[in-house]
Amino acid sequence: MTGLILAGVWWRYRTPLGITAEEMRRALTGLVYVLLLPALVLMVLWEAPIGLDSLRIAAVAAVSLLAVLALAWGLYWVAGTARPVAGALILAAAFPNVTYLGLPVLEQTLGPWARSVAIQYDLFACLPLLLTVGVLVARVHGTRADLRHPLVALLRVPALWAALAAVALNLTAVPTPELARGWLAMLAGSVVPLMLFSLGLGLRWDTVRLAAVPQVAPVLVLQLGLMPLIAWGLARGLGLEGGLLTAVVLEAAMPSMVLGLVIADRYGLDTGIYAMAVTVSTAASLATLPAWLLFLGGAGAPAAP
């Protein structure tokens, strides 16, 4: 997995075939966003167990995210941080990269069953909050206005419609046709490597500045340390255990999401410091994610629930 991320970093600085990292990332993420990820979501949620645990996963994701967002907002307000910088760092601290990194990590660490946890964590909590509360944070702190209603953006997410269709088919016990299962599996098989490669393309080491380390450091503490700790307490309180507990806490421990860069740019936040937060937190997560896995029960993959 690290090799795929590093391949994306290599592409950014070598630009083979004359194709820039941004051009490549836009094409690959567009393909994943419109076709491949919806296929994976449909395939996984159509057959995954959906019930009270789904509500618990969404509750843990939403509460831990909102708690860290409120703490980050208060912290940067007390520090008197410039609004465009503060807005970017609040988003970086609150919204983890639960799909582009979380889904591959959970699948490779815990097994294919854990993909449904990553998808539910994102589509039932993180993504709706990003396009509502996250957009509100960006509007308050940004220098540019965007009059588009955030709910319109939410309704244009293909993976969300795939999730709604899959849940409906799941709850009504409609069997998956063998032909559809094979087609969806073929499309879904490309998601993980393309996500990891695209993540590497999005890492920008040129944005890392020593002068900005004191401003970015709280993001690392909140995103990689406090959020998974809050999620662990909430998940245990709600009765999650075993593999589900591990999967939910690892999702909360993911570094800052790359998608937030689009929100930061659209509303005039400091995209440079946001990109630095993504890059540094992703690098730091190579140490913190294994540490959280050891804390949750050792290096062995917990069994599926």
**pLDDT above 60: residue 303:** no
pLDDT at 293 over 90: yes
pLDDT of 299 higher than 60: no
With 70 as the cut, is the pLDDT of residue 18 above it? yes
For residues 59 and 234, the answer to whether their CB atoms sit within 8 Å is yes
Q: How confident is the model at residue 300 (pLDDT cuts 50, 70, 90)?
A: very low
Question: Residues of the chain with pLDDT > 90: what percent?
Answer: 61
What's the CA gap between 263 and 148, in Å, rounded? 12
Question: Which of 213, 222, 202, 219 lies closest to 279 in space, CA to CA?
Answer: 202
| Section 58-77 average pLDDT | 97
Are 88 and 25 within 8 A, CB to CB? no
pLDDT in tens, 192-210: 899 889 888 888 877 888 8
Q: In this structure, how many other beta carbons lie within 10 angstroms of the beta carbon of residue 226?
A: 18
- Choosing among 1.20.120, 3.90.1010, 3.40.462, 1.20.1530, the CATH entry for 2-297 is 1.20.1530
pLDDT at res. 304: 59
Alpha helices for 95-134 (secondary structure H): 102-110, 115-121, 127-129
Which residue stretches of the chain are H helix? 2-14, 21-31, 37-47, 52-78, 83-94, 102-110, 115-121, 127-129, 135-141, 150-155, 158-171, 178-188, 191-202, 213-221, 227-237, 242-252, 260-266, 271-297
The set of residues, in sequence order, having a beta carbon less than 8 Å from that of 154 and lying 6+ positions away, is 127, 128, 131, 132, 160
**Percent of the chain topping pLDDT 70:** 95
pTM: 0.87
CA distance 173 to 22: 42
Q: Of 96, 100, 124, whose CA–CA distance to 29 is shortest?
A: 100
pLDDT of residue 147: 64
Burial class (CB in 10 A: 0-12, 13-18, 19+), 37: buried
pLDDT band at 97 (very low <50, low <70, confident <90, very high): very high
- Please say if the pLDDT value at position 153 is more than 80: no
pLDDT of residue 150: 64
Predicted confidence at residue 262, as pLDDT, reads 81
Q: Mean per-residue pLDDT for 260-266?
A: 84
Rounded CA gap, 255 and 51, in Å?
28
Per-residue confidence band for 93, with pLDDT thresholds at 50, 70 and 90: very high
The predicted pLDDT at position 49 comes to: 85
Where do the domains of the chain lie? 2-297
Between CA 203 and CA 4 the distance in angstroms is: 13
Q: How sure is the predictor about 85, in pLDDT bands with cuts at 50, 70 and 90?
A: very high
Arithmetic mean of pLDDT over the chain: 90
The mean per-residue pLDDT over the stretch 70-75 comes to 96
